[in-house]
Amino acid sequence: MTVTKVEGDHHTEMEIQMVVDCILVDYRVDAAFRDRVVDALIEWAEEHPAEWEGLLERCRQRQSVPV
Mind listing the pLDDT tens digit for each residue in 3-62?
Answer: 455 555 556 778 888 888 888 876 777 888 888 888 898 888 889 989 988 999 998 888
| Tally of structural domains, the chain | 1
Indicate whether this model's pTM tops 0.85: no
Which residues span the domain enclosing 30?
Answer: 3-64
* Residue 21 CB burial class (10 angstroms; 0-12, 13-18, ≥19): middle
Question: Looking at residue 33, what is its pLDDT?
Answer: 85
- Per DSSP, helices labelled H in the chain are 13-24, 31-47, 49-64
Q: What are phi and psi of 28, to 5 degrees?
A: -80, 110
Question: Looking at residue 26, what is its pLDDT?
Answer: 64
On the question of pLDDT at 2 being above 70, the answer is no
On the question of pLDDT at 65 being above 80, the answer is no
Question: Looking at residue 34, what is its pLDDT?
Answer: 83
